[in-house]
Amino acid sequence: MRLLSTSQISKHIGHRKIVNDVSLTINAGEVVAIFGPNGAGKTTLIKILATLLRPTSGRIHIEDIDVIADYAKVRHLMGVVIHEHLAYPEFTPFENLRFFGQMYGVENLDARCKTLLGEVGLSRFIHEPLHIFSRGMTQRFMIAKALLHDPLILLLDEPFSGLDTSARQFVMDRIAQEQEKGKAILITTHNTELGYHIGTRFHFMIDGTLEASTDKDDISEETLLQKYQDRLIDTGTN
């Protein structure tokens, strides 16, 4: 079942095409991994899907909902991890999660916040303000926030960066659990090893263009890595 689809999404900034005619679908139970070098447009694409940025053209649907026209209807269906503060730095992770949880009508909110913060390894810091957090701690918090309202769709921009081994393992395990529950998951990464391990379908994104996808069943990790390196060399982005 198709949960998220885009049709020819583009984003122009000035004369530059940052995202170029991207058509993408993600079905329930899929983990789609987009691999691309710095500057490929991955974060811009995630921001567009997350309704944080308007595309210059193109359409996005979540189930039957037009995401661009009706973004207020879809925000609660998405959990987003991006490397920007989408939270209140002067407040604690507990206070932040409570705030967002109330907005989304999460039940048993206090208990859920505590459990999630425990799961991401932040139990000792739940009453410290976010602005004192290291990059990895902030990333752990963002992951808890993305999962808080049990969203249908997870949009994870470089979810592993800044994480230590145990947090990385938590994220890998959690993505697998969410996939089993039938969620639609999009991750961007330039780590082909982790991306291959967790993904079910792979795209390369180069210079704003999303290339055709390959199913995991049709490619080995070694071949994926080799193809990716070849693409980077071809395009001079290595």
**Where on the chain is the footprint of ligand ADP (CB under 6 A)?**
13, 18, 36, 38-44
Residue 48 or residue 152: which is nearer to ligand ADP going by CB? Answer: 48
Instruction: Specify whether the CB–CB gap between 41 and 210 falls below 8 A.
Output: no
What, of ligand ADP, Mg ion, none, does residue 101 touch, CB below 5 to 8 Å by kind? none
Min. distance of Cβ 28 from ligand ADP in angstroms? Answer: 26
Residue 92 or residue 139: which is nearer to Mg ion going by CB? Answer: 139
What, of ligand ADP, Mg ion, none, does residue 44 touch, CB below 5 to 8 Å by kind? ligand ADP
Residue 43 or residue 96: which is nearer to Mg ion going by CB? Answer: 43
What, of ligand ADP, Mg ion, none, does residue 41 touch, CB below 5 to 8 Å by kind? ligand ADP
> Given the rule CB under 5 A, which residues bind Mg ion?
42-43
Min. distance of Cβ 44 from ligand ADP in angstroms? Answer: 3
Tokens 């505590």 correspond to what residue? 114
Tokens representing 120 are 């991401």
Min. distance of Cβ 132 from ligand ADP in angstroms? Answer: 26
Kindly report the CA angle at 169 between 94 and 194, in degrees rounded to 5? Answer: 125
Min. distance of Cβ 127 from Mg ion in angstroms? Answer: 31
Residue whose C-beta lies closest to Mg ion: 43
Min. distance of Cβ 94 from ligand ADP in angstroms? Answer: 30
Residue 82 or residue 120: which is nearer to ligand ADP going by CB? Answer: 82
Residue 42 or residue 168: which is nearer to ligand ADP going by CB? Answer: 42
